[in-house]
């Protein structure tokens, strides 16, 4: 039973360490910059949960802090805005 509990706990570690974020870029950002950021998140063990393209350029992701630090400095010309993903409602 201890083995099963330890396995379950270890399986949850990446979820605990990941941040649920929205990453948006200026409208004139080339797709290559955004694709590079998404690939960096995937390589760090994160996941892209949604891609935006119609109104804003960016994506939602569950990503470790190290990946977010990396994408924030990948492009000197096209800086991302990274913010916590949270529910939005209209009152």
Query: DSSP 3-state assignment of 76?
Result: coil
Q: 26 pLDDT band (50/70/90 cuts)?
A: very high
Cα 47 to Cα 63: distance, rounded to the nearest angstrom:
6
Looking at the DSSP assignment, which residues form a beta bridge with residue 51?
59
- Cβ(25)–Cβ(33) below 8 Å: yes
The hierarchical CATH code for the domain 17-84 is: 3.30.70.80
Tens-digit pLDDT profile for residues 27-79: 999 999 999 999 999 999 999 999 998 899 999 999 999 999 999 999 999 99
* Domain boundary assignment for the chain: 17-84
């Amino acid at each position: 039973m201890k083995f099963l509990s330890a396995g379950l706990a270890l399986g949850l570690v990446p979820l605990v360490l990941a941040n649920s974020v929205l990453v948006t870029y200026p409208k004139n950002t080339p797709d290559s910059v955004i694709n590079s950021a998404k690939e960096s998140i995937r390589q760090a063990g994160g996941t892209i949960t949604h891609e935006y393209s119609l109104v804003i350029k960016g994506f939602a992701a569950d990503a470790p802090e190290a990946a977010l630090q990396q994408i924030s400095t990948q492009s000197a010309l096209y800086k991302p805005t990274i913010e916590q993903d949270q529910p939005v409602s209209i009152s």
